[in-house]
Amino acid sequence: MSIRQISVFLENKPGTLQKMTSVFAENKIDMRALSLAETKDFGIARLIVDDVFAATNVLKEADFVASLTPVLAYEIPDEAGGLNKLLMEFTKAGVNIEYMYAFLGAGNNKAYMIFRVADTKAAEKALSARGMAPLTQEDIAQI
């Protein structure tokens, strides 16, 4: 089951990112993962949060432009070779990765990988056939 990533478009100027994080802090939204990509004029913050519905609502109220994207999340052991084993399964299933990023669990020796692929449902089906179960939105809220 895919999870939802929030992509927030940010003007590339001092304080814009902090304004976004202030909105989350004031509304007790916990960011699990953050990836930031930039160009000269704007950036895109890609976020995994504990409460997607609340986060998108407070962003809209604060006049941020945001969109939701389905992504896949998998748990791996936080050890040498953990990511490689998972990527081997992606390769065997013929799944191409457009981008990915990671976050660590709190003291549980686990890492969590977020993957954007062209066809999330097809990738999930191919990986599930190989015994790979993705995390759900509920799983993310519990981490």
Beta bridge partners of 48: 33
Instruction: Please report the pLDDT score of residue 13 as a whole number.
Output: 87
Angle of CA points 19, 32, 90, to nearest 5° = 130
Mind listing the pLDDT tens digit for each residue in 49-64?
Answer: 999 999 999 999 999 9
As assigned by CATH, the class of the 3-69 domain is alpha beta
Backbone angles phi, psi at 61, to 5 degrees: -60, -30
Per-residue confidence (pLDDT) for residue 143, from 0 to 100: 81
Interacting residues of 118 by C-beta distance below 8 A, sequence separation 6+: 96, 98
Per-residue pLDDT of the chain (143 residues; tens, 9 = 90+): 789 999 999 998 899 999 999 999 999 999 999 999 887 788 999 999 999 999 999 999 999 999 999 999 999 988 899 999 999 999 999 999 999 999 887 767 888 999 999 999 999 999 998 888 899 999 988 88
Residue 38's pLDDT is 81
pLDDT, residue 141, reads: 86
pLDDT in tens, 97-109: 999 999 887 767 8
For residues 74 and 134, is the Cβ–Cβ distance under 8 A? Answer: yes
What's the one-letter identity of residue 36?
Answer: L
82-92 vs 120-128: helix axis angle to the nearest 10? Answer: 100
DSSP state of 95: P
Numbered ranges of CATH 3.30.2130.10 in the chain: 3-69, 72-136
Q: Does domain 72-136 have CATH number 3.30.2130.10?
A: yes
Strand, coil or helix: what is 121? Answer: helix
